[in-house]
Amino acid sequence: MSAQPLADLRMIEGSAFVAAPLGGMTLAQLGADVIRFDQIGGGLDHKRWPLAPSGESLFWAGLNKGKRSIQVDLRSDAGRELVEALVAAAGIFLTNFPARGWLAYDHLKARREDLIMCALTGNPDGSSEVDYTVNPATGFPWATGPRDLAVPLNSVLPAWDVAMGELACIGILAAERHRTRTGDGQLIRLALSDVAFAMVGNLGRIAEVQIGGQDASRDGNYLYGAFGHDFGTSDGRRVMVVALTGRQWTAVQETTGTAEAFRSLESVTGHDLSSEDGRFGARDIIAAVLRPWFEARTLDEIRAAFEGTGVSWGPYQTFRQLVEEDPRASEENPMFNTIEQPGIGSYLMPSSPLELTAAGRVPARPAPALGEHTEAVLADVLGLAGAEIGRLYDDGVVA
Amino acid sequence: MSAQPLADLRMIEGSAFVAAPLGGMTLAQLGADVIRFDQIGGGLDHKRWPLAPSGESLFWAGLNKGKRSIQVDLRSDAGRELVEALVAAAGIFLTNFPARGWLAYDHLKARREDLIMCALTGNPDGSSEVDYTVNPATGFPWATGPRDLAVPLNSVLPAWDVAMGELACIGILAAERHRTRTGDGQLIRLALSDVAFAMVGNLGRIAEVQIGGQDASRDGNYLYGAFGHDFGTSDGRRVMVVALTGRQWTAVQETTGTAEAFRSLESVTGHDLSSEDGRFGARDIIAAVLRPWFEARTLDEIRAAFEGTGVSWGPYQTFRQLVEEDPRASEENPMFNTIEQPGIGSYLMPSSPLELTAAGRVPARPAPALGEHTEAVLADVLGLAGAEIGRLYDDGVVA
């Protein structure tokens, strides 16, 4: 086992909520030294739900694993000076704070010519936006949910924040690569609305409007453009079944004993079920033919029947069922370890989903306590002496 | 303007559907030479919906922008030999094909000692899974939708595929960085279920079950743990309004003239609306108080009233409304260009949401036609002579 791939990379993170913290954590989980600074007492996301019974934020703990934390009075000149010095020393700065004034790229660059700064914003013009306000604009909430629902449906997963946090990592690694080759740093700009609207385009939905002339209509739990649907089981569970490829379609028919029924239906209805288009056009009929097979079986019976058949399917689970029933979300999976998070308790924590085999998996590490590394960071990153550090604590500049 | 940050990076992509193609495209959009190989006639995703009236896939065109394409008969020894030679020459290989047999890492590594290979799978054991089967297992579909709905709700956005494609880029860039420093290549493993279940943990949902003892219940379009909700307008539109921070909550009250009503409600109900918890607990009341203000106004009137106030809000739009009404999804936004996609037509295409300012934005580039670059790639990557290339075409090994 050799060192982690990013073990020699250090960055400063000034952040709140999902995207920027996730970006920093993603790099920390690959070995980078990620130092998050917060206002003394914690930033806007320090008590974000879900909360532990102790009142500590499970959300904050989840998105800051493996980082170092320093608390600084950002309202004081001395505190801002310290953060500027840290940014200059580390040479990489990720933030979703407003990149102006003392956090403007040009201002920080004056202290470190080859600075890499990744500045996340809501909109490209720098105005504010969160996942919950961008997502409604994308079109997806009007395309989600039962056919007869009259209102759009929000996503509970902040998918655009997730995508943005990861894109920030890509930008930083690309810029760092460029700096290694040329010596030049740069500013990286990334807007949440751009992340979202680019993906609407990437998935063909902009072209569908402009070329196809169609707007998407909501279609319940059906898969778009092939066959996929959910079914109830005899024990009150639900499963999702997908027949995107020809092989998957054959497997479903064979396993459920419906091949002959579908052959008859093809000749009666004229749908060519061997094509994705045909399966999509006949999706209601296909679902109706398959439904009794599922409703006559328990989830375990379905699982046993599908084992090794090539059927593409999966059970619906609540978060609790995921944790209690699915071995993929347990310590049987080397990505997960049960770890003590100070102030909260012991629970299952993921490390990076990426397994870079040369170094092996880094086990999950808990999030820091706020300010846990203030003293260490001032000493080892800025080289401050003990007396100076003591004075900063005494003056309330750090904590 | 200097060269793109990844202009000297070349990789081979063997892929289908969303995650692997998106990963390759993300790097291509930063300047990498990404060569996608496909079976002659196209792979499983070549006709994936949405489709253009011409029958061409808008989905495929969307996820392969800016790549080079070669068509190879992957069922022939000579075709496989060519792909192996390309992988060895490029030194980086991204795939979601089964990484066994001729595509096994150890087999390919024998031809290129420092190969970097990123192998995407459904589950960590290599078994198959797609976004539409993994998402049901995460818990999110049971947490999505109206409170009284009896069935889980699928996501129309393949968010896990998106996250996986971007994580693949992070893995490749981290491994390439490691190779630059040490000379060593490596295999990167990444499973879709790991991507999804890690994020369930990162967002605090695993801890909430294990520490909080709670399972999430669905809550319509309310934001979790603070105030956020949707409202209808007098012209039949809908908007989302969020009051996560204290500043946002103040802005909503001031703009809608409801501050006094909420002060009375606080004393009557005992909810402390200045706290996130308090706003979450009183979310139904808050929504009921705010609703008439929205229902009395058009979307344009609401937009004008909120301008510059710090209210966090956004309109719901269908895909069509996004394209037709939102200047952020138009050529006013430098991320978008109207581009001719051969065989389909001219439409609005996004480039990378990442703006690395040293090089500037790369304008959007269309997807290749299948096999558009077969001859060029065989010549410039493998150094084959014209006569050899001609023979490969004649023998049906390439097209």
Contact B18, B155 (CB under 8 A): no
Q: Do B319 and A143 touch (CB under 8 A)?
A: yes
How many CA atoms, within 13 angstroms, populate the side-chain half-sphere of residue A371? 13
Cα separations in angstroms, A320 against B82, B175, B195, B302: 48, 35, 18, 40
Structure tokens at B375: 């001859």
Q: One of B73, B161, B230, B380 is an active-site residue; which one? A: B161
Average pLDDT over residues B264-283: 95
Average pLDDT over residues B392-396: 98
Cα separations in angstroms, B204 against A61, A128, B140, B201: 7, 24, 13, 5
Q: Do B151 and A239 touch (CB under 8 A)?
A: no
Instruction: Name chain A contacts of B230, Cβ cutoff 8 Å.
Output: 136, 151-152, 154
Cα separations in angstroms, A222 against A254, A269, B134: 21, 20, 15
Q: Do A322 and B224 touch (CB under 8 A)?
A: no
Q: Do A177 and B174 touch (CB under 8 A)?
A: no
What ipTM goes with this model?
Answer: 0.98
How many Å lie between the alpha carbon of B328 and the closest alpha carbon of chain A?
8
Cα separations in angstroms, B382 against B55, B103, B186, B296: 33, 19, 22, 67
Q: One-letter amino acid identity for B101?
A: G
- Per residue in B368-385, pLDDT tens? 999 999 999 999 999 999
List, as own/partner pairs, every contact residues A280-285 make where C-beta atoms lie below 8 angstroms and the sequence separation is at least 24, other chains included. Answer: A280/A223, A280/A224, A280/A225, A280/A226, A280/A227, A280/B49, A282/A227, A283/A222, A283/A227, A283/A229
Q: Do B177 and A173 touch (CB under 8 A)?
A: yes
pLDDT on residue B2: 59
- Per residue in B296-314, pLDDT tens? 999 999 999 999 999 999 9
Beta bridge partners of A116: A92, A186
Instruction: Name chain A contacts of B336, Cβ cutoff 8 Å.
Output: 197, 201
Instruction: Name chain B contacts of A278, Cβ cutoff 8 Å.
Output: none
Q: Do B22 and A202 touch (CB under 8 A)?
A: yes
pLDDT on residue B1: 46
Q: How far apart are CA A160 and CA A164, in angstroms?
A: 6
How many Å lie between the alpha carbon of B83 and the closest alpha carbon of chain A?
23
How many Å lie between the alpha carbon of A12 and the closest alpha carbon of chain B?
18
DSSP assigned state of B398: B
Instruction: Name chain B contacts of A135, Cβ cutoff 8 Å.
Output: 240
How many Å lie between the alpha carbon of B268 and the closest alpha carbon of chain A?
25
Q: How far apart are CA B259 and CA A91, in angstroms?
A: 45
Q: How far apart are CA B354 and CA B166, in angstroms?
A: 12
Q: Closest chain B residue to A325 measured between Cα atoms?
A: B137
Instruction: Name chain B contacts of A230, Cβ cutoff 8 Å.
Output: 136, 151-152, 154
How many Å lie between the alpha carbon of B29 and the closest alpha carbon of chain A?
11
Structure tokens at A359: 């170094």
Return mean pLDDT, chain B.
Answer: 96
Q: Do A333 and B203 touch (CB under 8 A)?
A: no
The closest of A93, A208, A10 to B344, measured between CA atoms, is A208
Q: Closest chain A residue to B209 measured between Cα atoms?
A: A320
Element of type H or E holding B11: strand B10-14
Pick the residue of B319, B330, B339, B361 with the most A CBs within 10 A to test the interface with A by mutation.
Answer: B319
Kindly indicate the confidence band of residue A233, based on its pLDDT and cuts at 50, 70 and 90. very high
Residue A300 annotated to the active site = no
Q: One of A161, A184, A326, A394 is an active-site residue; which one? A: A161
Instruction: Name chain B contacts of A186, Cβ cutoff 8 Å.
Output: 356-358
Q: How far apart are CA A135 and CA A259, in angstroms?
A: 41
% of chain B at pLDDT higher than 70: 99
pLDDT on residue A214: 80
Q: Closest chain A residue to B114 measured between Cα atoms?
A: A358
How many Å lie between the alpha carbon of B81 and the closest alpha carbon of chain A?
26
Q: Do A50 and B140 touch (CB under 8 A)?
A: no
Contact A243, B357 (CB under 8 A): no
Cα separations in angstroms, A394 against A383, A387, A399, B205: 18, 10, 9, 39
DSSP result, A130-148:
-HHHHHHHHSHHHHSS-TT
Structure tokens at A236: 């009150």
Q: Do A50 and B224 touch (CB under 8 A)?
A: yes
Return mean pLDDT, chain A.
Answer: 96
- Per residue in B32-60, pLDDT tens? 999 999 999 999 999 999 999 999 999 99
Q: Do B177 and A176 touch (CB under 8 A)?
A: yes
Inform me whether the pLDDT recorded for A51 exceeds 80: yes
Q: How far apart are CA B63 and CA B315, in angstroms?
A: 27
Over the range A154-185, which residues count as b (16 or more CB within 10 Å of their CB) and which as e?
Answer: bbbbbbbbbbbbbbbbbbbbbbbbbbeeeeeb
pLDDT on residue A1: 46
Q: Closest chain B residue to A159 measured between Cα atoms?
A: B159
Greater confidence (B361 vs A57) lies with A57
Q: Do A61 and B166 touch (CB under 8 A)?
A: no
Instruction: Name chain A contacts of B2, Cβ cutoff 8 Å.
Output: 182, 184
- Per residue in B122-136, pLDDT tens? 999 999 999 999 999
- Per residue in A162-219, pLDDT tens? 999 999 999 999 999 999 999 999 999 999 999 999 999 999 999 999 998 888 789 9
Q: Do B347 and A47 touch (CB under 8 A)?
A: no
Name which of B317, B335, B356 is nearest A188 (Cβ-Cβ).
B356
Q: Do B132 and A61 touch (CB under 8 A)?
A: no
This model's pTM is above 0.90 = yes
How many Å lie between the alpha carbon of B159 and the closest alpha carbon of chain A?
6
Instruction: Name chain B contacts of A348, Cβ cutoff 8 Å.
Output: 201, 206-207, 210
Name which of B124, B316, B321 is nearest A333 (Cβ-Cβ).
B124
Instruction: Name chain A contacts of B221, Cβ cutoff 8 Å.
Output: 151-154
Inform me whether the pLDDT recorded for B215 exceeds 90: no
pLDDT on residue A2: 58
